[in-house]
Amino acid sequence: MTVEMVFVGTELLLGNIVNTNAQFLSEQCAALGLPVYYQSVVGDNAGRMEEVILAALGRSDMVLLCGGLGPTEDDLTKEICARVMGISLTEDGRVKKSLEDFVSRLGLPMTANVYKQAMVPEGARPIGEWEGAEGENCWILPNANGTAPGLVMEKKGKTAILLPGPPGELKPMFLDSVRPYLMGKSGQVLSSALIKVCGVGESLAETMVLDLVDAQTNPTIATYAKNNEVHIRVTAAASTEKEAKKLLKPCVRELKKRFGDSVYTVKPEVTLEMALVKLLKKYDLTMTTAESCTGGMAAARLVSVPGVSAFFSEGFVTYSDQAKHTLLGVKKGTLKKYTAVSAQTALEMAVGGAAANRSDLCISVTGIAGPGGGTKKIPVGRVYIGCWLRGETVVKEYTFSGSREKIREYAASAALDLARRSILDYFRK
Amino acid sequence: MTVEMVFVGTELLLGNIVNTNAQFLSEQCAALGLPVYYQSVVGDNAGRMEEVILAALGRSDMVLLCGGLGPTEDDLTKEICARVMGISLTEDGRVKKSLEDFVSRLGLPMTANVYKQAMVPEGARPIGEWEGAEGENCWILPNANGTAPGLVMEKKGKTAILLPGPPGELKPMFLDSVRPYLMGKSGQVLSSALIKVCGVGESLAETMVLDLVDAQTNPTIATYAKNNEVHIRVTAAASTEKEAKKLLKPCVRELKKRFGDSVYTVKPEVTLEMALVKLLKKYDLTMTTAESCTGGMAAARLVSVPGVSAFFSEGFVTYSDQAKHTLLGVKKGTLKKYTAVSAQTALEMAVGGAAANRSDLCISVTGIAGPGGGTKKIPVGRVYIGCWLRGETVVKEYTFSGSREKIREYAASAALDLARRSILDYFRK
């Protein structure tokens, strides 16, 4: 079954927004093993939309249409798609009721054009009532985060799936309704794990799994580079979820063995900072941060984790030599002899930060983010990262490449990762 | 002249990357007044690429093709586009030489497949040699940031422009070569200004320029919401650059008058933190930061500006009440009576941060970023931002909406903006 995507919206053609839905749906289809050969973007124009939808339904088995389901006159996707497929629309009482409930919950007045969204294919049923039947069926997909419901329209061996454009509505609707529908159609259940790896470069990671990727059948393995991390998606297909999960297990175990401590989670929703905070919680550790070139990025990522306040109370941004001395107690002699960008300074920053905050752990970052300031001995991108954990210290030297922003992002990731690895090492002893 | 875009690359169809080139090129075409009706994405497959390119050249005057120009066997865009247009390719000595220079500069060995990129349309000339001629011409676009040159191929009233896929190569090539080519073709020179506004909501900003947008002919006006800012692009067309710039002036002046201090720059490359650092430099002010819920985001944005070290030496991340008291001297009584999320605490944080760092200015941020922690009196999204500038203080209350991440980003922007406005106010007196 081939799938293609049509994105409707003049705001995409004008460059007002980035099409993040395209990446999300593409990744989801890839994980479901569905080949996507084409994607199109078209504006809110009836003639051009009809042309694009006809071409898509002509060459692919299934078309995901995103956007243009709203209440305004410009929202034409449903009407045109139904006409092209020869499907008539009618007002649905249940959808109408849920629209009225949604609008009144927001305290807004009900306007006539809202009812446009209650028009659905004749005989369409809520997606929950689907029982695996094949043929000319239509289903309504509930929208918990907006007014326009989604739709599935099947006719003559072709399927159109209509989704709202806002990512906050499209993503949950896809995960809650479309994904199970697609799995139901294939008679297969898919189960995925996402092995998130930090501290291993993309090429090295690819090489480390090459034999598994070459030998893959079920489960399948795919690697993605994401910022300073590599994510490995493992997907197994089976007739039951239990069986699919069972197929996943040995592969996930093998990958965890190969990447060891570099794997910080196998759950898609867990970030590096969340994994670190989980460890702080597990071992009841407090931590602080002493940052120079990252200027607070590592602290800000920690604070992005809800509930971090039990483990993180304060952080230091010490951009000048003076601040490193005054706030963290880095010796003036160290700064003079080794300079601010040195392993020795990173070490004293970590020791001093932990002492100032009386915390169990402190990470430190000092480096040259560029674009200026590099020398032959200490090039742009050189970063020293230190970690003090209850008296044990470690300092690492990195040379990152890229823009000032990229170097700083990499450095913040590497600092959080070093804290994570230090905790694992400490409590393994 | 209608334009459409074709993006080539299986990595887009698999969702490995977000298509940021689409937004960039769409925004550029909109600024040039070129209507874009279609965009397509297709994989590295000869048959499907040919089908998509044929359809695009059939319905649009000009097609921008992005990606698939590299040295590997999968890179087919040039070969297929040339075949479809009936153009023959030949090796170009100058391109070959520049490929060899580029590869040797990187210290890499020259491999046979690199020479594939020296194949250009017969008779193609470097873009600089363009003299405004119409007809069946081809040009070579130099690539300062990679190996594959870009190409312009004109034949039978249709034009194909081939650009490399990596954004770091595509963007400068578009700005340096394609934009002037397009302006040359239209016989018009375009000049743009980008009025960046902070602290005014999107709907309010749109309402404030509605009459100008409705009355627009030349210059044209378009508004874009970007994170916590609104950007207003004004574009004038004329036969000379001088004339175009002259047409821009009254419109830019009017917008600056309407938005007053909310305008922080009219230059596309200037960010809010850069505008703030420029003011620190102008008035020779040092500043510091005292952050709670933003956890270092404001400091990190300041440090993103190269050369900020002369004005910013340290920042405080005080997430706990204890840290606010110890590091910033917020009174225990204040924290008890008003709580940490209050105007009074924000005020004492700003005063105490400036005193601790002996700086001229300090901004403070304290709030509830959610998802938990909100009360009926102090809801999630409530943020107090303070600013102390040489003895003058101001505190503002905000209620932001969205995710924890969004609320924190908005708060960091608002803090930087409050520092900027405070400096303007202070030195106007």
The chain B residue lying nearest A402, using CA atoms, is: B168
Check residue B13 and give its pLDDT: 93
Dihedral sign for Cα atoms in the order A233, A237, A238, A239: positive
Q: Report A:56-85 residues touching B (Cβ under 8 A).
A: none
H or E stretch at A419: helix A404-428
- Kindly report the pTM of this predicted structure: 0.82
Task: Calculate the CA A168 to chain-centre distance.
Answer: 13
Residues of B with CB below 8 A from A41's CB?
22, 38-40
Are B314 and A291 inside 8 Å of each other by CB?
Answer: no
Q: Report A:280-319 residues touching B (Cβ under 8 A).
A: 289, 291, 293-300, 302-304, 306-309, 312-319
Least confident of A22-36, A100-114, A201-215: A100-114
Q: Are A247 and A239 in contact (CB under 8 A)?
A: no
Indicate the residue of B16, B37, B45 with minimum beta-carbon distance to A43.
Answer: B37
Tokens of A327: 């706030």
A355 at B interface, C-beta within 8 A: no
Confidence of residue A402 (pLDDT cuts 50, 70, 90): confident
Q: Are A190 and A32 in contact (CB under 8 A)?
A: yes
Residues of A with CB below 8 A from B15's CB?
22-30
Task: Calculate the CA B158 to chain-centre distance.
Answer: 31
Phi then psi dihedrals of residue A65, to 5 deg:
-110, 130
Q: In chain A, what are the domains? A: 3-186 (3.40.980.10), 189-265 (3.30.70.2860), 272-428 (3.90.950.20)
B167-182 pLDDT per residue, tens:
989 999 999 999 999 9
Confidence of residue A130 (pLDDT cuts 50, 70, 90): low
A141-193 pLDDT per residue, tens:
999 888 899 999 999 999 999 999 999 899 999 999 999 999 888 778 888 88
Q: Are A84 and A50 in contact (CB under 8 A)?
A: yes
Which regions of chain B are under pLDDT 50? none
Indicate the residue of B293, B296, B405 with minimum beta-carbon distance to A315.
Answer: B296
Residues of chain B with pLDDT > 70: what percent? 98
Check residue B259 and give its pLDDT: 97
pLDDT at A206 over 90: no
What single string gives the DSSP state of each residue in B118-177? GEEETT-EEGGG--S--SS-EEEE--TTSSPPEEEEEETTEEEEEE-SSHHHHHHHIIII
Indicate the residue of A24, A43, A320 with minimum beta-carbon distance to B314.
Answer: A320
Average pLDDT over residues A222-242: 86
Average pLDDT over residues A229-236: 90
Query: How far, in Å, CA of B127 to CA of B138, rounded?
Result: 9
User: Which of A368-372, A416-420, B119-123 shows the highest mean pLDDT?
Assistant: A416-420
Residues of chain A with pLDDT > 90: what percent? 71
Tokens of B306: 């190269």
Check residue B134 and give its pLDDT: 54
Check residue A102 and give its pLDDT: 84
Average pLDDT, chain A: 92
The CA distance from B323 to the nearest CA of chain A, in Å, is 6
Confidence of residue A136 (pLDDT cuts 50, 70, 90): low
Dihedral sign for Cα atoms in the order A120, A122, A125, A131: negative
B22 at A interface, C-beta within 8 A: yes
Angle CA(B194)–CA(B223)–CA(B198) in degrees, nearest 5?
70
A76-111 pLDDT per residue, tens:
999 999 999 999 999 999 999 998 888 888 777 778
A263-306 pLDDT per residue, tens:
999 988 899 999 999 999 999 999 999 999 999 999 999 999 99
Q: Do the interacting molecules here have an ipTM over 0.85? A: no
B363 at A interface, C-beta within 8 A: no
The CA distance from A92 to the nearest CA of chain B, in Å, is 32
Beta bridge partners of B66: B7, B163
Q: Are A61 and A158 in contact (CB under 8 A)?
A: yes
Phi then psi dihedrals of residue A9, to 5 deg:
160, 120
Pairing state of beta strands A189-198 and A263-265? antiparallel
Residues of A with CB below 8 A from B297's CB?
296, 300
Check residue A160 and give its pLDDT: 97
